[in-house]
Amino acid sequence: MTTYGYMRVSTDQQDTALQAQALDRAGAGEFVSDVMSGKTTSRPGLDGLLSRIKPGDTLMVWKLDRLGRSSAHIIALIDDLTRRGVHFKSLTENFDTTSPMGRAMVGVMAVFAQLERETISQRVKEGLVVAKANGKVLGAPKKHDAALEAAIREAEGSIRDIARQFGIPKTTVHALRKMPNEQKKT
């Protein structure tokens, strides 16, 4: 069973000395580090470690924010480790999945991450309703003007032939021909 210490700094001007010292004192036997923003979910050092870490091993960090900045991403990583039988410890927060309380905290954190995702989704939906009520046109701008759309709808031939003639996807031709009259004008 190996205890790996993972360290991350955001820029080359920062160093991992403080993290390495704390992880070494806590018993980490092997160290892996990355120099990049915590917002980046794919990190070469962490990705390599996650691919070779085995059940019974421990991944240790100095602080949770070294693992990532998004709570949802951190929880997904910890949950994945737990399912794989890998222990996780964060020294600063005294978070340890080798104990029953630590495992319970993973569940509590997951609940709050889900709440955060649902709250963000709800706010986005409410914002879209308000924007639409205020006359904002939602979605991507139209790629075709009304005259071109009318020409496509009136063109003779198969969907494939019309698509080739106008240089557009077959799905666009099909959608324009299926569209009810009241939607064609908006």
Which amino acids are annotated catalytic? Answer: 10
Pairing of strands 87-90, 58-61: parallel
Q: For the sheet containing 87-90, what is the strand order?
A: 30-35, 3-9, 58-61, 87-90, 95-96
Q: Which residues have C-beta within 8 Å of that of residue 108, sequence separation ≥ 6?
A: none
Instruction: Provide the total of helices (H) and of strands (E) in the chain, helices listed first.
Output: 9, 5
Among candidates 88, 112, 113, which has minimal Cα distance to 102? 88
Helix, strand, coil percentages in the chain from 3-state DSSP, rounded to 5 = 55, 10, 35
Location of structure tokens 């914002």? 127
Among candidates 116, 112, 114, 46, which has minimal Cα distance to 81? 46
Q: How far apart are CA 173 and CA 78, in angstroms?
A: 47
